[in-house]
Structure 1
Amino acid sequence: MANLLPTQIFSLAPEVGKSYYENLAGGVNASVTVNNFSDGPVALVITRVNAPVVTYVIPPVNSLTLSVELLLVAALLTGALPAFGTIQVATSDF
C-alpha cells in the first residue's frame, strides 16, 4: 500500500539546507520527486539505512524522481542562489 504525502512547497535562501522527510525508525521504501522552478540548482540529499549519503544536483527549471529503499532522510540544500519549487514523498512497501 502506498502513502502519498502532501506536496510541500519550498523556498530556500542561499546556502540553506532543510529536511523535508524523516523516518528514523528504520527507514521506509519511498519515491521522492523534486521540481526545481528556480534559476539556480538545488541539491537533493538522500540518507538510507546502512548506505552512504547520496546527493543529486537538480539543475534550474528541472525535476528528478527517485525510488529509494529504506529511506531515512530526504533534504534539500541550496548553493549560492536561492531555490524554490516542490518536493513530494510517497512511501510504500515495494
Structure 2
Amino acid sequence: MAILLAEQFFNLGPSVGKSYYENLNGILNASVTVNNNSGFPVNLVIYRINAPTVSYEIPALNSLTLTISAILVAALLSTAAGAVFGTIQVATSDF
C-alpha cells in the first residue's frame, strides 16, 4: 500500500539543513520529489539502512525524483550563498 505524504514547502537560508522525512525503522521504500524553484542549488541528502549517506545536488530551477529502498531520512541542505525555496514530497510504499 502506498501513502502519499503532504507536499511540503521549504525555504532555507544559506548553509541551513532540515529533515523532511524520518522513519527510523527503515522498513519502507519511498519516492522523493524535490522541486527547486530558487536561483541557487539545493542538496537532497538521503540516509538508508546499511548504506552510505548520499547527496544529490539539484540545480537552480530544476527538479529530481528518486526511488529509495529502506529509507531512514530525507533532508535538504542549502550550501549556496543565497536562500533556496521550493517543494518536497514523499510517497512511501512496500514496492
Identity of aligned residues (%): 67
What is the TM-score with the length of structure 1 in the denominator? 0.98
Deviation string 1:54-94 (CA, Å, 9 cap, x unpaired) is: 00000000000000000000000001221000000000000
CA RMSD, Structure 1 to Structure 2 (Å):
0.7
Task: Map residues 10-89 of structure 1 onto 2, 5 A cutoff.
Answer: 10-79=10-79, 80-89=81-90
Cα distance in structure 2, aligned partners of 1:21 and 1:60:
22
- Given the two structures, how large is their TM-score scaled by the length of structure 2? 0.97
Which consecutive aligned stretches of 4+ in structure 1 deviate over 4 angstroms post-superposition? none
Number of equivalences: 94
Deviation at 1:26, TM superposition (A): 2.9
- Long gaps (5+) in structure 2: none
